[in-house]
Amino acid sequence: MRHSLPALPVLALMGLYAACFTLPGAMAWTFSADIAIGQPISAEEQDSTDLQLLNTVQQQWLQPEFPHANSSHLNPSNLNLNSLPSPEENFDLYRLGPGDSVYVNVLRFPDLSFQGTLDQQGNMIVPLTGALSFQGLTVEQAREQIRIALDLYIVNPQVDVILIAQRSVQVTIAGEVVKPGFYPLQAPQLATALVTAGGTTGLADLRSVRIRRTLADGFVLEQDIDLFSPLRDSQSIPNVRLADGDTVIIPPLTAATNGRIRSQPDCPLNPCSAAN
C-alpha cells in the first residue's frame, strides 16, 4: 500500500533542495566560466575554487546594505561645505564659527525670522528645520544653507543673513611692535591688534605689514598691507578684519628698505595714530 507524503513537507523539501543546490550552482557558473562541464580538476584546484566561491558569497550576500550611510540632519540641504571660495581671491571673507551671532530675516514669514548664536560645535537652531551646521561657512553660504533647508517647508523662501556680533579672536602679533605676544581681541581688526600690542616701533616697515592665516585644510594665506601710504596722507588705515589664529607680522626695515626710512611717518603707528 502506498503512503503519499503530505503536500507541505514535500514543498519544504523541494525549496530546501533548490536553496542548497541550485543557488550555489548558479553562482559557481557565474563566478568561474572557465571550468568546463565534466572537466576533471585536482583537489587543490577544487579547494581554491571553493574558497573563491565562499569569498564571493560573503561579499555579495553579507555586505551591509548601506555601507556609506550617515546622518545628514545637520546639513539637510547637502550643501557642499568644502566648496569655499578661492582663498587667494577671498582673503577678507569672514567664516562663521562658535560665538558668532547672526540675524536671519525670512521675507513674507516674520514668524520664522530670528536672531541666534552659533554653539561650540558651530551649530544653530533654525525654525522648522532644527539644528544646522554653519561652521566654516561664509555669511552667503549660511544664507543658502537656510534657504535650501526652509524650501522643504515653505514655497520659494527668501532669506537674508546679517552678522550682528563677531566672536572674539586670539591672534599673535610679532615683529616691530612694542609688546609682541598672543592677544585676545574683542574687536578683531588690524588697527585694534596693533594698538593692543602698544603700537609699532620706529624701525617698523609699515609698507608691508603681513597677515598670515592658516585654513582648516592646512592651506596658508598671506596678505601684505600697506600702512605707510594712508598714514603719510593723513587717512585712516585699512580696516582689515582678523580671524581666530591669525598672525600679524610687522617686519623691520632692512638694507633693501633702509632707503625709505626718511620717508616713514614722523611717528610710528601707536594708539594715537591708529585711532585717527
> Residue 232 corresponds to which cell in the numbers above?
603719510
Domain co-membership, 94 together with 143: yes
Residues 246, 190 share a domain = yes
Q: Is the C-alpha dihedral spanning 155, 161, 167, 169 positive or negative?
A: positive
Single-letter amino acid code for the residue at 268: P
Residue 217: what pLDDT? 79
pLDDT of 43-72, one tens digit each? 566 556 655 655 554 454 434 433 333 434
**Same structural domain, 112 and 82:** yes
Predicted pLDDT of residue 50: 58
Residue 36 lies in a domain: no
**Would the pTM count as exceeding 0.95?**
no
Same structural domain, 193 and 259: yes
Could you tell me if residue 203 is inside a domain? Answer: yes
- Contact (Cβ atoms closer than 8 angstroms) between residue 110 and residue 127: no
Question: Does residue 35 lie within any of the structural domains?
Answer: no
pLDDT on residue 37: 45
**What pLDDT, on a 0 to 100 scale, did the predictor assign at position 258?**
57
Give yes or no: residues 271 and 177 share one domain: yes
CATH number at residue 139: 3.30.1950.10
Residue 146 maps to a domain: yes
Residue 171 φ then ψ, to 5°? -130, 160
| Residue 237 pLDDT | 86
Q: Are residues 187 and 263 in the same domain?
A: yes
Asked if residue 180 belongs to a domain, the reply is yes
Of 246, 235, 223, the closest CA to residue 90 belongs to: 223
Q: What is the predicted pLDDT for the residue at 30?
A: 46
Could you give the number of structural domains in the chain? 3
| Confidence (pLDDT) at 269 | 60
Distance between CA atoms of 250 and 248, rounded to whole angstroms? 7
| Per-residue pLDDT, 10 | 45
Domain housing 50: 8-30+41-69
CATH code for the domain of 208:
3.10.560.10
* pLDDT for position 164: 94
- Statement to judge: residues 240 and 180 lie in one domain: yes
Domain boundary, last residue among 167, 190, 222 = 167
Give exposure, 7-25, as e/b (b: 16+ Cβ within 10 Å).
Answer: eeeeeeeeeeeeeeeeeee
Has residue 3 been placed in a domain?
Answer: no
C-alpha cell at 234: 593723513
- The pLDDT value recorded for residue 105 is 98
What's the pLDDT at 205? 95
Residue 1 lies in a domain: no
pLDDT at 65: 39
Give the per-residue pLDDT at 238.
Answer: 87
Shared domain for 56 and 94, answered yes or no, is no
User: Which residue stretches of the chain have pLDDT < 70?
Assistant: 1-90, 255-276
2 within domain boundaries: no
DSSP run (H or E) holding 114: strand 114-117
Query: Among 112, 136, 167, which residue terminates a domain?
Result: 167
